[in-house]
Structure 1
């Protein structure tokens, strides 16, 4: 078979993965870890912000959610951009936005200004999530795709664990919550040269969109992967009429898109209630902010372990039943978090278990998204689900803040917010989709 008759996407799907593919997936995982730190930086800083500005829980809940609104907008529009101009430029744009937003957050002097800066930061984080999910799915072979996507998702809690430990050290050393954002801005900038060096545009995108010099760019990547270059591009994909967002609601796709979005929305309510409110809840119990941040670190240790466990199990068990089970167990664990635990040890253990199941479910959900959408819709589909679903992420901390302000205790709030991920598991069990292997 000549090189001209080979579709390189089929080669990527069926052949063992080259070290260059593994490196690209590794960078995407590190980018997701950066997202994890950037999103939770406000959680680590929140006790100091509440102390310095004297704001109540309702106002703090709004501040904690602002970058989640931004993430929804960013995922929706930058995710669509990733299908138009490419995964790599979308990631680079997202990094610039994130770095600027984190730097500006360290200069904020009011709730309103900080909220605007966090909203802006969230635009970049949302675009990053959609683009990295597409890159990992398209750089992996078919056998390891679920594993690779789950590992990438596991970067999120790892970033929170490592970043949280550093944030605790920074808070203890400086006494300034601003130092957390300054650190995040610096690390974000350092990723730009790494992406330029190690993350090429994906072959699946280049084959589908065929931008200028597509053949040369595909061949450059193939040669780096020790594969034979092409003499010409493979046959064009079937051209679909309408925008990619419209195609998500075409016959056969509409139900999948809507049910996945609802499942993600409901699950994110619970997940972000947990990770956003832990430091403030533990601080209000009388513990120092650095110790309260340690409980959040343990929640993310559980989250990282859950993502790795999910990634290994997907090699032997269907990913969807795993995610449904993890969601239901996560709902129980989150409800238990508010049931009278009052020592750092017990809070850390329950938070770790809750993080294990809720983030394990999140890791599996991203694998489901990668399966559910073809290459032509992967950025838009992932971006749409994340974009709309992030409204659930934002509503979780806000709802908790309003319930606390209305006089609800931690027990009732935990049970109420745990219902989100339980609903997400039930909805996901109803989804019927056909797995996409290559394009």
Structure 2
């Protein structure tokens, strides 16, 4: 790089190897997403113990199962968009602190109401953390590997949920259900120290907000030293900006509204499937005749399937991402339907649960990368946050849906047949998004400059 050169930050990131600094950012964001998956799923794995210890009916569990989801939605919708105003780093650090403290405190709940309140607060922190982790990571990724890296990072969510299941199966018999929440609270508080020391602000956000050129230069220099000669920086956007609009105004503008709604609908329906399965499958399998331990272990196979998102990310970087994810949702609908018809055979049931988990979590884990690509920097934080936030209501709907179906005496097969319909809806939503907002073959750029002059 020549002295006094003007640097396009995305071109700089594209042209340099993925550095150890970027891998550090990836690792921190991955752990945040993993803890999100662990804490979000933990309540489903401890539900059978709550029923036994507090001598309550399973029908009254719906509020506590859904409390964190209400918090997740609130955190994403209200706190998440602040990242477009205050920065990704500050909101992310505060969010991790909130959900760590709240999850730890929930371990000492004495009744269902106290636990419900603390799960809501935990959800607020998680809801604000997830979209900011996705947004921050996406803004440090080269274009050619963005979907692959974000999907790899987002694998932390289903892996965290699966790990929660295996850990709960061991912890609860030895130390009781409270130990699961204590673990889920102390780990993010330890991570908080690393974030305070090492987490940077997004370099694309710095340029978009006209940050001092010294800060931009210092951040890029940690990727490659030749950035130290630059005196000004510009930012090009693949997604078209909307003049005078940022944040929620951009997301709801006429240029983005149809795509936004379709992203919300697809993610909503995907979480109907995820939370209906993760929260209720241990209970439904137990009632179908399996032992509590076997029910928990088989249920944990469902979120473990999220590792398939890595391959999907590679395909998204090479082909049309809307169609790739739509196909995954269509196959998800078929596989979830098959779970309901495999309960009489343990081997077949394990296979059906795992395959359904691979397909469903692959589709769902790919959605944040799709949203991050769809919006420009001025609205990316809000766009990702609102998709994740509004989608969380799908998790709430999924929990209450299964509760309602059990009250109506639906069979095991009937419950999973109804849940499978959500996958069809997600598939159709993404095909509509593709029809209205075809992926541009040529980048449409907008330059913003930060200079010492």
Task: Determine if the TM-score, normalized by the shorter chain, exceeds 0.5.
Answer: yes
Structure 2 CA distance for aligned equivalents of residues 236 and 327 of structure 1: 34
* Matched position secondary structure for 2:136: helix
Q: Which residue of 2 aligns with 1:325?
A: 327
- Once the 2 structures are TM-superposed, how far is the Cα of residue 248 of structure 1 from its aligned partner? 1.1
In the alignment, which residue of structure 2 is the partner of 1:225?
A: 223
Contact persistence 2:16–2:224 (CA under 8 A): no
* CA distance 1:301–1:86, shift in 2 (3 Å): same
Q: What runs of 5+ residues in structure 2 fail to find an aligned partner? A: 447-453
One of 304, 326, 335 as aligned partner of 1:301? 304
1:165 corresponds in structure 2 to 166
1:234 matched residue in structure 2: 233
Among 416, 419, 430, the residue aligned to 1:417: 419
Q: Secondary structure at the match of 2:144?
A: coil
Post-superposition offset of 1:105: 1.3
The alpha carbon displacement at 1:372 in A equals 0.3
The aligned length equals 435
**Structure 2 CA distance for partners of 1:266 and 1:105, relative to 1, 3 Å:** same
- Equivalent residues in 2 for 1:107-122, closer than 5 Å: 107-122=108-123
1:64 counterpart = 2:62: no
Displacement of 1:389 = 1.4
Give the 3 Å change call, closer, same or farther, for CA 314–400 of structure 1 in structure 2.
Answer: same
Q: Please tell me whether the aligned partners of residues 319 and 367 of structure 1 are also in contact (alpha carbons under 8 angstroms).
A: no
The reply to whether residue 210 of structure 1 matches residue 210 of structure 2 is yes
Distance 1:243 1:51 in 2: 50
Correspondence for 2:255: 252
Q: Give yes or no for contact 1:59–1:401 (8 Å, CA) kept in 2.
A: no
Q: How far 1:50 moved relative to its partner?
A: 1.4
| 2:311 equivalent to 1:292 | no
**Equivalents in 2 of 1:62, 1:342: separation in Å?**
31
Instruction: Decide whether the 8 Å contact of 2:282 with 2:292 is kept in 1.
Output: yes
Alpha-carbon separation, structure 1, partners of 2:294 and 2:327:
31
Of residues 14-23 and 373-382 in structure 1, the stretch that sits farther from structure 2 once superposed is 14-23
TM-score of the superposed pair, with normalisation by structure 2? 0.90
Alpha-carbon shift at residue 233 of structure 1 (Å)? 4.1
Q: 1:427 to 1:107 in 2, by over 3 A?
A: same
Question: Which region of structure 1 is more displaced relative to structure 2, 342-351 or 164-173?
Answer: 342-351
Post-superposition CA distance 1:79-105 (Å, at most 9, x none): 201111111111111111111211121
Deviates more, 1:42-51 or 1:242-251: 242-251
- What residue is the counterpart of 1:355 in the other structure? 357
Distance 1:437 1:289 in 2: 55
After TM superposition, give the deviation of residue 243 of structure 1 in Å. Answer: 5.2
Q: Distance in 2 between matches of 1:151 and 1:359?
A: 12
Q: Distance in 2 between matches of 1:128 and 1:307?
A: 20
Deviation for aligned residue 1:438: 8.2
Which residue of structure 2 aligns with residue 21 of structure 1? 22
1:374 alignment partner, one of 352, 373, 376: 376
Going from structure 1 to structure 2, the CA distance change for 1:196 and 1:258 (only over 3 Å counts) comes to same
**Structure 1 residue 198: Cα displacement:** 3.2
How far off its partner does 1:388 sit? Answer: 1.2
Q: 8 Å contact 1:14–1:143 — kept in the other structure?
A: no
Matched with 1:95 is 96
- Residue by residue over 1:188-212, the C-alpha shift from the partner in whole angstroms, topping out at 9 and shown as x without a partner, is 111112222332111011111235x
Report the Cα offset of residue 286 of structure 1.
4.0
Distance in 2 of aligned mates of 1:319 and 1:254:
19
Aligned to 1:234, the other structure's residue is in SS state strand
Instruction: Report the counterpart of residue 135 of structure 2 in structure 1.
Output: 134
Distance 1:292 1:401 in 2: 18
Give 1:343 shift: 4.9
Contact 1:327–1:421 (Cα < 8 Å) also in 2: yes
